[in-house]
Structure 1
Amino acid sequence: MAASVAMLASPAAAQEEPSAEDIIVITGSRIVRADLEASSPVISLSQQQFADVNASSVEKLLTQNPQFVAAINPTVNNGNPGVATVDLRGLGDNRTLILVNGKRQASYDSEGIVDVNAIPVALISRVDVLTGGASAVYGSDAVSGVVNFILNEDFTGLQADASTEITSRGDGAVHNLALTGGINLGERGNLVVSGGYTKRELVYQGSRSYANPARFSDDLSPGGSSTSNPTVIDNSFDDTENSYYQIDANNDFVPYYQPYNYAPPNYLVVPQERWNAMAMLKYELSDGIEFFTRGTYLSSKVNSQSAPTGTFGYTFDIFQDNPFLTPQQSNLLFNSPNSTINDDGSTTIGIRRRMVESGGRTTTYDNKVWQAVAGLRGDLGNLNWEVFGQYSKSKREIAYLNDITYARTAQALDVVMTPDGPACRDPSGGCVPLNLFTQDAIGPDALGFILTGGQQVDKTNQWVVGGSISGDVGNLTMPWAEAPVAFALGVEYRREEARTDVDDAYASGDLIGYGQGFNLAPYHFDTKEIFGELRIPVVTDRPGFYALNLEAGYRYSDYSTVGGVHAYKAGADWAPVQGVRFRGLYQRAVRAPNIYELTAPPVSIIENLDTDPCAGSNPVGNATLTQLCLDTGAPSVGNIPGPVSGQINAFAGGNLDLKAEKSDTYTIGVVINPPSVPRLSLSVDYFDITINNAIDQLGGSPQNVVDGCYLVTQDINSAYCQAINRNTLTGSLSGNIEFGVDQAFANSAFLQTKGIDVSAGYSHDIGSGGVSFLFNGTYLDSYKKKGDPIAPTTQCAGKFGFACNLAPMPKWKHVAALTYSLGDVSLMGRWRYIGKVSQDSGTNILVSSIKAHNYFDATLSLHIADAYDFRFGVQNIFDKDPPIVGSEAGSTTHNAANTFPTVYDALGTTFFVSASAKF
């Protein structure tokens, strides 16, 4: 079940004065009052809903809701930082603020993004999802919205939970255990302690027919990487149309014939082992004063694995006296028409040899998070107050394994003949000769000499202290209203600190497969904030005005990095009659740059590119384009290799001159709860979120940078052309780490998304049983992005591909659930719908559109003796395969295994069994 009627407000009728236990703090406001209803759309997901889909990690249920776009989840292998994140509206997981009981959750690194693995599912009471800017209420980062995890602070007894799931192919097992205990401390308090363990088994891409072999996107033929085995070299020797030569069975160089199928060793699902623990205490010190505290610990280990490393077109100097060269090979390298001989007699060639003997490149992530929160809260008459402090700390240890060193590979390739046989010209360090000019396997000694790895440690710290007071403004009541004016005032101080340490091997830039890591010196910023809210009941129970309320909010934040910024909101809700309420809200939200965006040194990464205007024969005959290709570093045109498997080198780096980005959110909607049909709820809300100075890398994507240089500005002095540094040997955008596209952060991007959310819920008694229906859908009218003011605007609604560089974004998504209950037995059926998408303006592949996908799930629940719950579930009942689009169809985060596994079901039918026992 993927939606909840809790987002649909109850009628604003006058009611009896509630007890303190009846008051629920509404996400979207700091005002604590029982009759408060949100003017912002708020979706609420219950703990039951997590159980019904066996969501051992919170992102599993959240990202199936249509308001979310796929972010980092277990099917992200290439670029998985060992975490799980959520992304509201597709505006970025760094623009979605994560709260636990209304308090900020710790980030996992210098980018300020939260790993939601740290939130224990067993303790969730509900999850409130506030869509739209909310900085006036919660501060920076709440640009696309807020996800507030409300934990059960009143749990009593002992509860054990266990579940296991497995696919119909017998793989992808997930095992989960949790134990929760709570006791009342007399009549004044409660103590809750919970611990959990989760283990997820890996799945290889090679285990799914749609994923293996890797396929070219232009024709879906079996494909892969030009870094292959046998060895491939870049053609810089003759004017033929051959971009590469490859070694054949006779050890001769022939035109390139066999790419490397990298699918089998790649992970489709990354394995994880996770431990978490949490303790919560609240205790009434005296009448009106309560102490509360919460402690959290997470230990999570995740591995990702890519295909074996290789030389990836890095250039090496080869001498003619190398005894491993055959006469045919020597003749091609040294006697071809375009052969270039260096002053020392060598020739420089780009080599693409896959080190299949080394096994996959494995990256291990060991994440640990600690958080402690403590404070006092209470009431003074009609006023509620709170003061609190919290400290969060995270540490992420990363090991980059099974790579090769460029320096030692170059040393081992420079071979001479000695009386004892082939030997390294420079024998230092125990050099072992390396023969890449044969189909023979690399020996263990030669492999051992060039193998290497790297280490990185990320540390973050966060301190937050604050206080607030809310309640009624005395007896101030509008003439036609019954409830008084309500307010909230507060202050907060926050300090964020981060650092990154890498070992010498990773810092050297000598790791061919992993590139180069950089130390990030300890850096911090602090923020001082003051905020306030006002809610004014204007009219109550008058003809045409069953209720009319106004609200406003303001926050001033003083950042040590970007100075003072303002966030504010204004809105209203109007119920002309009981059961019908119209609501509207405008919000100005801000997001200050995070530490990574400010201070990150230029780091070499792998990015995606569909089309290179300089590749192949494209520039020939076009004088302007030819000159630009030459001016950006190409030695010649006519046979420049295109992107390898849709990927090129890129550089990401920080910018201390960044400013806070600002967004404007408009929402307007209607909520219907007719008194004559008390179990029916319906809401329709329109949203419009615009960010005009969004922080993004130059152009938004390498494709936009390349197009901006060669097709739009056509000016070598433009920012786009200056950001391109071509391989001086082949003219490509890959090879050594100094070649590629530079994309430093800037306040240059534009983002805008518009659409309509629809939600409905209804329940009805049938004999001794009952039926209930829930529906949650989103129509995405528009999603526009520009990476730079002079870049073209890209429309991403209903699209996928390189220009958008996002997960596929269908125009319509919904989740519907129908449940029938009879006594202690219930059966739930769920329908997940993902609408069709087509390729965007930067993509031209064979599969130009993806049809709508429907997934059906079912869960049977048994409740026995008020103490035991059993669930049996099937997800993707009809074993629907994901669409096959090939390996060059968009974002490297989302496009893998020839499909988009973050969006479409990558595993097929999955079965689960879960049990809960409470004593």
Structure 2
Amino acid sequence: MKVKKLAHMIALMGVFAPAAGPVFAQDGAAVMQRVEITGSSIKRLAKEGALPVQVINYDTIEKSGITSTEQLIRSLSANGTGADNMTSGNNVFGADADRVSGGASYASLRGLGPNSTLVLLNGRRIATFGASAKAVDLNAIPLGAIQRVEILKDGASAIYGTDAIGGVINFILRTDYHGLEVSLNDNFTQHGGGANRRLSLLGGVGSLQKEGFNVMGSVTYDNNEKLSSHDRAFANGFQPERGLSPDTTGTPYANQLSGAGTALGTGFKRPGDPTTYLQANPLSFQGKCDSIPGMSQYQTALWKDVTAATRSTYSCAYDYGADYIINFPVERLNAVARGTLQISPDHKLFVEALYGHNKATAEFTPVQISTSLANGNAYPVGGAYYQDLSAFIPSFDKTKPIIYKWRANPWGNRMQEDVTDNARLLIGAEGVLLGKWDYRAGLSHGESTTKTALIGGYGYTSKIYSALGSGIINPWLSAGQSQTPEAMQLIESTRFNGAFQHGKTSLTQLDGNLSGEVWQLPAGPVSMAVGFDLRREGYNFAQDVDATQILLSPGNAALNEASRDIKAVYTELIIPITKELETQLALRRDHYSVFGSTTNPKISFRYQPNGMLVLRGSANKGFLAPSFTQLYSGRLSQELPNGIIDPVYCPSHPGDPAFCAIARLPYFSGGNPALKPETSKQGSLGMVIEPVRGYSASIDYWAINSQNRILNRTPQIVLANAALLSQNIIRNPDNTINYVNAGWINAAGTKTRGADVSLRGEGKLDSYKWAFNLDGTYTRSFKFAEIEGQPYQEYVGNFYSRDLYLRWKHNASLSLSRGDWSGMLIQSYSTGYKDQLPDGGKAAPPPGFNPNVKAYTKYDLSASYTGFRNVTITLGIQNLLDTDPPFTAHNVDEVVGAGWDPRVADPRGRALNVLLKYKFL
């Protein structure tokens, strides 16, 4: 093996040493490249290093019809099945949701969360998402300019420091391109909506080998169209016979509420019925809830513990889950420029500039309003639309105002425009010193800025309340009716449109390393790398207006300018013990200006006893530094959905809404400056076998234990653990809950176990070349405890509101080529899981309820032709069989998606992908 190639591998500690094969099939050129990197005489085994690394080249990505980095990462079997995608981020549900997602999407290897996956560009860090500083937004990656993607499925804190507990995803850009290439990709769905289009231009001049320089650039424009739940029949939240029905009474035709001094008083009784009811809708008494589109009679039997029968028996419900925007409009512009100067055979300098502009138009359902006498927004006596329920409720007092709960459709969908600009400038040098020491150094600065503007559906709280209290606006519109011009003019006067909030992250980095052989052993040379990493990270987040004045505004609390300095040094060794066995050792020490130092070691080995077998393994420690938001975000006031139950006092006050059906319970959340880093211990053990040339298999078993897990202590968790967290539940003198304190804590840890499997075969059949690949991940166990001291619970195969931990996921591909033609068939598969039980299992589900969500299988087919000069034509059909997402009866208040789950399935249905590429001479 050449010294330079070996040293390069040492410096990156296996990140550039490919392993278990790509998710999809790769062409022959990619295979030869991998052999050249490793320098082995055995084709398949030569590609296997001490660490499990998966490689995907850009040609494979194009042929697969993938049009965004999010799609690519979601196709990885090792990536988690969580709510870190743009569909889930478009609908802010659950108190632990990212309220400033802004169209961002994230990676989450092993399902450990975006913060635990390190995303690199050409082996270096880039700034995290400007709105939340949560992690790197995948939309910031210029997918059209990459050469390949390398996924290290092992902990790497000993190499890169924080964020690498779950693994590393490294996007490698083209660095030496000569020529001009233009490509057009059009991906549109059979059933309408959700089309994706891309236009890409790549060009370069000069040759490093011949002319001593190269200048290249790439510009890519993407346009993703909106896809609404209305466009897909499976997005139906009212299927009570299967255990699914809306549990909200915030309806377009308002439900009346009870309360002292109101028309319903503190409750009402029906003739011959001793029960006191607390909420009513005139359509419910008439059996006409379904006369309004999207509305239905509230299914009390399905949600007995969520909404008391006293409140829901005579109420209507609304399927707002079927009003979601599944994919919202996104425009992306990414540009990359790189200039490289070969100043001598052993030294080169380069400058790299990256710019990305991402505009996402998020769209939410109309605001839900619960009126009250205290807020002055009750419907007045004598108003033109006063609903007299005396015919149904003898005790109805029409001399009193009406308070009600209403989905305020006349204001329209809430819309926000999130614009993110990403930029990075890198100056670097690479080369060889004294003929044997490889070096690499770079200085970079990157920024990510996100600006959010409210562009529809939002308004000033005080103005909206005043308008509702006037009686001019009608909360009880029948089908086909509309507000009067006077009412619409009043509604328009309440609106707020304009700049709302903004955030910015920054990253300045100076790094360098030196690697080479240090001495000779009988089994071969010992090689060593030493390096340093100096970074300054910054973040700020602020509102452009007072968010408390905007009704149900979506923002986080302000965070003033915060920064931290990180200083790190590391060393690595490759030691050949025998001709068959080598070990890799790494040690890194990081010092953070905010919480001190941490030292993390790693050891791995590679043993090849013969030409058909490789054994490998690793053991290491890792850490995850708290984010700026987790440390410093301000105190934010929010509200929980209606129907919250006080677990302490509801049992002793059955039927009392003050304890058993609490309306809009307030809570506070925010940062915790006392947070400690999350730490981990992890390891892997695997083998690769090639019994016959061209046929191979690998399996790598992995285990990760973490401690001090950084979790958002949501109000739901606080209430569910009231005995352990009673200090976080602030009560009034009458024992009703005043508010709940929530926020970030160091909770208990996680324990996860599993295995990655890869199968590969390639050969010839007559004049045809074929190749088969399968990459799968088996998760044997994923356990964690929400609070320190609680027993660990198993989540694999069970419903959970944050992430799903599926037993098995895989991607398999079969490719066939002959001459100018090539084709590829891809299968994506994920196992099913136990569904969420309606009513938490407290009520017997209907006979048609299936407690298991079915497995999901999707096929993609593509064909490419290169017979025309300089032209490549690729036609593909994604979701070949037009498979709908599997049905799930989960509560849409906790996970986005009425009747389906965007964490698991692709909602677009069958789509046609057309790719045209032309290379100029």
Q: How does the TM-score come out when normalised to structure 1?
A: 0.83
Alpha carbons of 1:25 and 1:535: their partners in 2 closer, same or farther (altered >3 Å)? closer
Q: How does 1:663-678 map to 2 (within 5 A)?
A: 663-674=680-691, 677-678=692-693
Q: How does 1:258-657 map to 2 (within 5 A)?
A: 258-263=316-321, 265-312=323-370, 316-317=375-376, 322-324=381-383, 351-380=404-433, 381-400=435-454, 401-415=456-470, 434=473, 436=475, 441-442=482-483, 443-453=487-497, 455-473=500-518, 476-479=519-522, 481-482=523-524, 484-506=525-547, 509-514=548-553, 517-540=556-579, 547-604=580-637, 613-614=645-646, 622-623=651-652, 626=653, 636-637=658-659, 640=661, 651-657=668-674
Q: How does 1:23-172 map to 2 (within 5 A)?
A: 28-29=13-14, 38-70=49-81, 71-76=83-88, 77-79=90-92, 80-109=101-130, 110-172=132-194
Once residues 241 and 473 of structure 2 are traced to their aligned partners in structure 1, the CA distance between those partners, rounded to angstroms, is: 36
Once residues 123 and 310 of structure 1 are traced to their aligned partners in structure 2, the CA distance between those partners, rounded to angstroms, is: 44
CA deviation after TM superposition for structure 1 residue 575, in Å = 1.3
Once residues 724 and 399 of structure 1 are traced to their aligned partners in structure 2, the CA distance between those partners, rounded to angstroms, is: 34
Alignment match, 1:838: 834
Counterpart check, 1:225 vs 2:248: yes
Read off the aligned partner of 1:489 and give its amino acid letter: V
Alignment match, 2:26: none
Counterpart check, 1:868 vs 2:868: no
Among residues 693, 696, 709, which one is paired with 2:708 in the alignment?
Answer: 693
Maintained 8 Å contact 1:248/1:254: no
Maintained 8 Å contact 2:618/2:685: yes
Read off the aligned partner of 1:663 and give its amino acid letter: S
Read off the aligned partner of 1:708 and give its amino acid letter: N
Alignment match, 1:246: 281
Once residues 799 and 859 of structure 1 are traced to their aligned partners in structure 2, the CA distance between those partners, rounded to angstroms, is: 34
Read off the aligned partner of 1:242 and give its amino acid letter: Y
Alignment match, 2:221: 197
CA deviation after TM superposition for structure 1 residue 902, in Å = 3.1
Maintained 8 Å contact 1:171/1:201: yes
Alignment match, 2:20: none
Alignment match, 1:419: none
Maintained 8 Å contact 1:761/1:775: yes
SS in 2 for 1:911: strand
CA deviation after TM superposition for structure 1 residue 492, in Å = 1.1
Once residues 51 and 606 of structure 1 are traced to their aligned partners in structure 2, the CA distance between those partners, rounded to angstroms, is: 45
Maintained 8 Å contact 1:696/1:747: yes
CA deviation after TM superposition for structure 1 residue 182, in Å = 1.3
SS in 1 for 2:369: coil
Once residues 850 and 741 of structure 2 are traced to their aligned partners in structure 1, the CA distance between those partners, rounded to angstroms, is: 30
Deviations 1:810-847 (A, max 9, x none): 20111111111111111211111111211369954744
Alpha carbons of 1:651 and 1:63: their partners in 2 closer, same or farther (altered >3 Å)? farther
How many pairs are equivalent?
830
- RMSD over aligned CA atoms reads 3.6
Alignment match, 2:758: 759
Alignment match, 2:902: 901
List 4+ stretches of structure 1 deviating above 6 A.
18-26, 30-33, 249-255, 318-321, 325-328, 330-337, 437-440, 606-609, 726-731
SS in 2 for 1:799: coil
Once residues 255 and 605 of structure 1 are traced to their aligned partners in structure 2, the CA distance between those partners, rounded to angstroms, is: 28
Unaligned runs of at least 5 residues, structure 1: 1-14, 340-344, 416-421, 423-432, 541-546
CA deviation after TM superposition for structure 1 residue 121, in Å = 2.2
CA deviation after TM superposition for structure 1 residue 38, in Å = 3.4
Unaligned runs of at least 5 residues, structure 2: 18-36, 40-45, 93-100, 260-265, 269-274, 289-310
| Comparing 832-841 and 589-598, the one that deviates more | 832-841
Maintained 8 Å contact 1:217/1:847: no
SS in 2 for 1:206: helix
Maintained 8 Å contact 1:320/1:330: no
SS in 2 for 1:68: coil
SS in 1 for 2:510: strand
Alignment match, 2:720: 707
SS in 2 for 1:276: strand
SS in 1 for 2:281: strand
CA deviation after TM superposition for structure 1 residue 697, in Å = 1.3
SS in 2 for 1:528: strand
Once residues 162 and 729 of structure 1 are traced to their aligned partners in structure 2, the CA distance between those partners, rounded to angstroms, is: 67
Read off the aligned partner of 2:707 and give its amino acid letter: N
Alignment match, 1:418: none
Alpha carbons of 1:792 and 1:839: their partners in 2 closer, same or farther (altered >3 Å)? farther
CA deviation after TM superposition for structure 1 residue 694, in Å = 1.0
Once residues 232 and 134 of structure 2 are traced to their aligned partners in structure 1, the CA distance between those partners, rounded to angstroms, is: 35
Alpha carbons of 1:330 and 1:211: their partners in 2 closer, same or farther (altered >3 Å)? closer
Read off the aligned partner of 2:219 and give its amino acid letter: G
Once residues 476 and 889 of structure 2 are traced to their aligned partners in structure 1, the CA distance between those partners, rounded to angstroms, is: 31
CA deviation after TM superposition for structure 1 residue 326, in Å = 8.4
CA deviation after TM superposition for structure 1 residue 221, in Å = 5.1
Once residues 249 and 324 of structure 1 are traced to their aligned partners in structure 2, the CA distance between those partners, rounded to angstroms, is: 22
Once residues 734 and 426 of structure 2 are traced to their aligned partners in structure 1, the CA distance between those partners, rounded to angstroms, is: 57
Maintained 8 Å contact 1:27/1:148: no
Deviations 1:593-631 (A, max 9, x none): 11111111133457789x95548xx966x44xx5xx99x
CA deviation after TM superposition for structure 1 residue 62, in Å = 2.1
Once residues 836 and 705 of structure 2 are traced to their aligned partners in structure 1, the CA distance between those partners, rounded to angstroms, is: 21
SS in 1 for 2:317: coil
Maintained 8 Å contact 1:268/1:897: no
CA deviation after TM superposition for structure 1 residue 762, in Å = 1.1
Once residues 21 and 277 of structure 1 are traced to their aligned partners in structure 2, the CA distance between those partners, rounded to angstroms, is: 33
CA deviation after TM superposition for structure 1 residue 312, in Å = 4.3
Once residues 913 and 687 of structure 1 are traced to their aligned partners in structure 2, the CA distance between those partners, rounded to angstroms, is: 39
CA deviation after TM superposition for structure 1 residue 294, in Å = 1.0
Counterpart check, 1:679 vs 2:694: yes
Alignment match, 1:428: none
Deviations 1:194-253 (A, max 9, x none): 0011111101101111113x3377954553631112222333412745342235599999
Read off the aligned partner of 1:594 and give its amino acid letter: S
Deviations 1:281-330 (A, max 9, x none): 22112342210221111111111211111314676347897432989869
SS in 2 for 1:81: coil
Read off the aligned partner of 1:183 and give its amino acid letter: V
Once residues 254 and 276 of structure 1 are traced to their aligned partners in structure 2, the CA distance between those partners, rounded to angstroms, is: 51
CA deviation after TM superposition for structure 1 residue 727, in Å = 11
Deviations 1:679-714 (A, max 9, x none): 22321000111111111112xx554332211xxx3x
Alpha carbons of 1:190 and 1:232: their partners in 2 closer, same or farther (altered >3 Å)? same
* Same amino acid, percent of matched pairs: 26
